[in-house]
Each structure stands twice: as C-alpha cells, then as structure tokens.
Amino acid sequence: MTKVKDGKIVDESVDIKTYTSIEHGDINKITSIVLHRTDSSNAASTLQAYADGKKSGAHFLIDKTGNIYQTADMRKICWHIGILLPRCQVEKNCNPKELKTITALIHEKGFSFGRRARNLSRHETGKKYPLRYPSNSDSIGIEVVGKFWPSKKSFDKPTPQQLESLKWLVEIIEKEYKLNIKTDVYAHGAIARKEVSEGAQILQYLFSGVVP
C-alpha cells in the first residue's frame, strides 16, 4: 500500500534520492503540480547536477525507463519555476488597474528584457494562488527526462513507461494534497518564461490519455 510519510512517497517503485542542495525552506501549503522536461537524455546527468550542488531542481525525476526518483522532500520548497508569466494577462481577465501595473513593469525603462520579466514575476508571486500561476513556494515539481530539440521546437517524445509512471505519481500527490487534476496540474512552458512546449505533451497525456 503506497503512502506518504514525512514528505516522502513510501513505495517500492519510488527510489528515494533526496538532495539537500535543491531543498530551500518549508512549503506551507501544496496547491499544484508543475510538469517539467529535463533537457537531458538520461536521469544520471540531472542527478549528477544535484549531487554537484546545483540549487535548482524539482521534487521528482522520471527516467526514460519509467523509474521514479524522489529528489526532494515534498514538505520543502524547490526552485523549479523560474520566471512566472502574468496569469491574468495570459487568460485575458486582468482588471484595468492590474493590467496597467503589468504593462508598466514589462515596459519599465532602464532595465534589460530579462530584468523586466523578473520584476513582473516578483510582482506575480505576491499574489495568492490561483490568482497567479504556481510558484516555488506552493507547488510540487516533476521532471520527466527528455531533450529539447530546437530544430523541432519540441522535446523527446515521452516513453510509455514514463507516461505510466507520471500518471501514477500525479494521482498519489493529487490524492495526498487534495488537488484537482483538471485545474491544479500545469505544464512548465505554459506558466513560465520557458520554451512553450515544455511539459505540454505530458500534460495532454494526463488529460486525454493520448500523446500528441
């Protein structure tokens, strides 16, 4: 019987390999799950980066074989989101005052493009979920191994084993933290300043059971 104990999934199909380097403080409340792709061809390089002391990473990593590694305690914050997109602007439902603030931040003179995006992201994180997209402080990150190919603008097609493991893992987390799979699971590329296709294929699979 699978259970969650002390922030870790207790099940023989989850290999617990947590790295303190990617854990940063405590999560108060888990509101969502964010699906990532590693931009690597195997889990080993990501695990090695964590072992080498990289500070950014996610709570779980799913190898091409479908093997699941838990790389951080779910009670801990992981830096896996990056620069947030303004949710109300993406979903076209900002009130006029908020839209004015967002527009002013993104056009602020004297800053680089990246700095302006960071400032806007900081403004977003000041909002409460779900008024904004998930942030590091309230979401669980799942990395699915797969390389990004700029020539195709897409990532490696996930393996059937990865998809099966992902579905199982998302259902465990969803149940444990009382999340709604239809509204609280996101593709990284849809919520942050990343390649748009990141996480899209695997999210679509979760919703429809079909890989595009």
Partner 1 sequence: MKKYIFTPLFFMVFIFIIQSCSLQKQDESMKVISIKKVVNKNIPGYEICSSFTLREIDVVKYFTLAEQVDGHEFHSEAIILPCKYQGSINVNGSFLQWEVNAGGAGYLYNNKKINKKYLCKVDCCKSFPSLC
Interacting residues with partner 1 (CB under 8 A)? 36-40, 45-46, 49, 54, 56-57, 79, 82-83, 85-86, 89-90, 102, 106-107, 112-118, 120, 147-151, 193-196
Which amino acid is residue 83, in one-letter code? I
**How far, in Å, are 3, 61, 179, 204 from residue 68 at the CA level?**
15, 6, 20, 20
Cα(181)–Cα(185) distance, integer angstroms: 6
Please give the structure tokens belonging to residue 73.
Answer: 């305690």
Q: How far is the CB of 59 from partner 1 (least distance, A)?
A: 14
Using the minimum distance from each CB to partner 1, give the nearer residue, 149 or 207. Answer: 149
The torsion angle over the Cα atoms of residues 105, 114, 86 and 97, rounded to 10 degrees, is: 0
Using the minimum distance from each CB to partner 1, give the nearer residue, 9 or 72. Answer: 72
Q: How far is the CB of 182 from partner 1 (least distance, A)?
A: 22
3-state secondary structure of 99: helix
Using the minimum distance from each CB to partner 1, give the nearer residue, 8 or 193. Answer: 193
Q: How far is the CB of 94 from partner 1 (least distance, A)?
A: 10
CB 206 within 8 A of CB 191: no
Q: How far is the CB of 186 from partner 1 (least distance, A)?
A: 16
CB 169 within 8 A of CB 71: no
CB 161 within 8 A of CB 20: no
Pairing label, strands 8-10, 185-187: unpaired
Q: How far is the CB of 156 from partner 1 (least distance, A)?
A: 11
3-state secondary structure of 68: strand
